[in-house]
Amino acid sequence: MSIVKKHITITAGSTFTVSTGEYSDYIVVGVFRALKDIEPDKLVAEWLEKHPDEAKDFRFNEQRFLAEAFRTGLFEHIPSFEWHLCCSQQISEMEVTPPDEWVG
């Protein structure tokens, strides 16, 4: 059984964002570059072999999963600017934050 909705390999050299949540809980964790081909299906399967309880709803620890995946050397963090367009459709809330000030 596959957990990942689209079976796509993130190819070496590609940049990608990692996000979590939805609606008001949606966040971008960061921008990364693949150092090797990344197969999300394979990473998830390996993770669930070690942590089968996390296949249940409300049990997945995405921070721990990302940290372990990062430690494998498959990808690196890319410092990036954050361009926040608005809040509650107010253009006056637009802001750009440089990489050294943004945690993402």
Q: What is the pLDDT of residue 1?
A: 53
**What are the pLDDT digits (tens) for 1-37?**
567 777 889 999 999 999 988 888 888 888 999 999 9
Average pLDDT over residues 72-86: 90
Rounded to two decimals, what is the model's pTM? 0.81
d(CA 86, CA 78) in angstroms, rounded, equals 24
Q: Is the dihedral of CA 48, 58, 30, 103 positive or negative?
A: negative
Q: What 8-state DSSP symbol labels residue 88?
A: T
**Average pLDDT for the chain:** 89
